[in-house]
Amino acid sequence: MFSQTRCDRCEAPESSFSLCHLQTHFHHVLAVCEQVACGRRCLSKEACEGQFSRMLQLCKVTKHLFISNARSVCSDELIQQEAVTLCINVSKQQPFPSAGIKKLQVPIYDDIPNEDLYGHFDRCADAIQKEANRGGRSVVYCKNGRSRSATVCIAYLMKHRKLTLTDALQVGDV
C-alpha cells in the first residue's frame, strides 16, 4: 500500500514513483486498486465485490476512460449507453463484447501473479490516449475489474495525465 508521500513497502519517496515502481510493487498496489476500482473508496474488499456482483456497470475513471469487469463489459447495452469505442481486455480467458467496436487484448492470465503486465503499460496507455484524442471512450476490464484493469488505468493516468501514483490512486472522473 502507498501512503501520501512514501511507498509503505520500500520507503521510496513519492517523487520516485514510476510505472516501473508500480510493476515492482504490483501485488501491494492491488489492495488499494481493489478498493478504488469502482471510482470511490469502498469500506472493504467485500463491499467492492458486492458492488460488482449486484449490478452491471462501467465505472468512470475520466471522461474518456471506464473500468469494469468482464460480465458488465459483455453487456452490449452498457457499451452502447456509455458510447465506448475501444475495449481493452486484460486477460486471456475473458470474452470480448459482441458490439462492433475496437478491441485490444492484453494476454495476461487472471490467476498467475508473475505475469508481466508492465510490458503492456505503454501499448495500453497509448491506445487509451489515442482513442480519447479522437473523441472516443475506452473501457479497461479483467475478470473482476479490480486488479489488472485498475493497474492499466493507473499506468495511463501516470503516463498521459502526468499524475503521481498517489494522485492516480485517488482519481475519480478527472
> Tell me: the pLDDT tens digits for 113-156?
778 888 999 999 999 999 999 999 999 999 888 788 999 999 99
Domain 14-169, CATH homologous superfamily name and number: Protein tyrosine phosphatase superfamily (3.90.190.10)
pLDDT tens-digit map of 68-110: 999 899 888 889 999 999 999 999 888 888 878 999 999 988 6
How many CB atoms neighbour CB 66 within 10 A?
Answer: 26
Q: Note the pTM of the prediction, 2 decimals.
A: 0.70
Instruction: Look at residue 161 in the predicted model and tell me its pLDDT.
Output: 94
What is d(CA 145, CA 57) in angstroms, rounded to the nearest whole number? 11
Beta-strand relationship, 59-62 and 65-69: antiparallel
Q: Active-site residue among 33, 48, 74, 142?
A: 142
Query: pLDDT averaged over the chain?
Result: 76
Is 142 known to be catalytic? Answer: yes
The domain ranges of the chain are 14-169
Centroid of chain to Cα 165: 13
